[in-house]
Amino acid sequence: MVCICIVLISNLAYGLEKKGTLTKNNFVAGGCEIASMTVKYKFGNLLGEPTIAGSFKWKGNEGTPVDCLSYSTQLFIKIATGPTHYGYIKLAPAVPKAAGGYGYNTTGSPNWNSLIQTRPNSEQYLSADSAKAFWKSGFMVESFEVVTTERKIKKEKEKEKEKEKELESELEADNDTGEKDDFWSISKNSAMDDYLKSKAAEKERVRLAKIASTKMIHEAKERAKQEQLKKEFEKELKKAGLTLGGGDVQITLTWNNATDVDLYVIDPNGESINYNNKKSRSGGILDVDDQNGYGPENVYWPSGGSLPGQYKVKVKLFSGSRSTRYKIRVFTNGRVYFYEGTLNRKGETDSVVSFKRS
């Protein structure tokens, strides 16, 4: 039986924020007999990127060890917009002990193309566009599935208990009290070692989960920043109305006022392409040199004509006394990157980026 409790909804940029709880009773997961499991979830977005968070608590049936569930336990939340249109979102929170309250609440920001799986633990995902449309559609949160493995420590403990019984029987048969006392001392120490190891493993998992959560949030912010710079850059180029050269490597500069900012690109041979050296021996070309403000300035290597190795990009405020904000677009190795910065005084130079062309 599955019940759904407390769903809060508020408008966001991509669809709806949803948070609430799901409860499932009387089932078996990874060899553990579970009386009840309650999952807390929260789905939303941060700067246009999806965010997911979740934790759970559980109770076992009589005889189920409190640490029965494997640390690798994952939850798959089923979301749907109709009977035949559904998918699953994976949560991998810290695994608590039975009847011990909720585990650590992990927060993640997966890419759109790795957000919604077609089946639990299938690693087959909806495309980024399909996932965005799903997220925006006002989906329902229906249920959850638990995917886990039998915990090795449980099997090991069962083997230890069997060995203990065998040894105990042998000791009783020999009627050697001293050796029996030694056996129980060793057994207790072994059990304590197992307990300390499991505690250390849980602590390490929580630490790694916090690091992963922080990293995902940072990556989401960086993706949103790159998207914003891309929109601003494309608007500025469209306004300039120029056709720029391009190829294997292209570096383009724009800025925000009527000052003169110069672009310098140093190729792997150490030669600088700039307003004073518009063609390099390696094939680099400065085809646009703006001196009246706003840009663009553009350096490129035609297709098939660039050198492998390290390239460096610099900008300099050649003339003007106003603080000037600049943007740089770099195309290399089939990908586009954006950078920005500020020049505050005449003659100031910024080293923007150094990248490797493979």
**Is 265 contained in some domain?**
yes
Q: Once rounded to an integer, what is the mean pLDDT over residues 126-152?
A: 85
pLDDT of 100 above 60: yes
Classify residue 66 as left (phi > 0), alpha (psi -120 to 50) or beta: alpha
**Is 228 contained in some domain?**
no
CATH code for the domain of 285: 2.60.40
* Residues 112, 115, 78, 121, CA torsion sign: positive
* Cα angle 183, 188, 189; round to 5: 100
**Predicted confidence band at 236 (pLDDT cuts at 50, 70, 90)?**
confident
Question: Given 150, 170, 190, which residue is the final one in a domain?
Answer: 150
**Is 217 contained in some domain?**
no
Closest C-alpha among 52, 61, 156, 68 to residue 106: 52
- The DSSP element (H or E) to which 100 belongs, if any, is none
**Is 98 contained in some domain?**
yes
Q: Which residues contact 69 (CB under 8 A, 6 or more apart)?
A: 29, 30, 32, 58, 95, 98, 148, 151
pLDDT of 137 above 80: yes
**Predicted confidence band at 11 (pLDDT cuts at 50, 70, 90)?**
very low
- The C-alpha atoms of residue 180 and residue 167 are separated, in whole angstroms, by 9
- The C-alpha atoms of residue 322 and residue 326 are separated, in whole angstroms, by 12
pLDDT tens-digit readout, 108-120: 888 889 999 999 9
Q: How many domains does the chain have?
A: 2
**Is 113 contained in some domain?**
yes
Question: Given 123, 150, 177, which residue is the final one in a domain?
Answer: 150
What confidence score (pLDDT) does residue 179 get?
Answer: 47
**Is 227 contained in some domain?**
no
What confidence score (pLDDT) does residue 158 get?
Answer: 63
Please tell me the number of Cα atoms within 13 Å of 6 on its side-chain side.
Answer: 10
- The C-alpha atoms of residue 99 and residue 113 are separated, in whole angstroms, by 36
Q: Once rounded to an integer, what is the mean pLDDT over residues 203-221?
A: 74
pLDDT tens-digit readout, 15-31: 467 889 999 999 999 88
Question: Given 100, 134, 150, which residue is the final one in a domain?
Answer: 150
Q: What is the pTM of this model?
A: 0.44
**Is 272 contained in some domain?**
yes
Kindly state whether residues 11 and 133 are assigned to the same domain. Answer: yes
Question: What is the domain range of residue 34?
Answer: 2-150
More confident call, 22 vs 14: 22
**Predicted confidence band at 150 (pLDDT cuts at 50, 70, 90)?**
low
Kindly state whether residues 144 and 255 are assigned to the same domain. Answer: no
Q: By the 8 A CB rule, do 299 and 309 touch?
A: no
pLDDT tens-digit readout, 265-322: 999 999 999 999 999 999 999 988 888 888 889 999 998 888 999 999 999 999 887 8
Q: With pLDDT > 90 as the criterion, what percentage of the chain qualifies?
A: 35
Lowest-confidence region among 36-50, 92-106, 232-246, 305-319: 232-246
Q: Which residues contact 167 (CB under 8 A, 6 or more apart)?
A: 183
- The C-alpha atoms of residue 108 and residue 90 are separated, in whole angstroms, by 10
What confidence score (pLDDT) does residue 190 get?
Answer: 64
Kindly state whether residues 266 and 141 are assigned to the same domain. Answer: no
Q: What SS3 state is found at 172?
A: helix
**Is 273 contained in some domain?**
yes
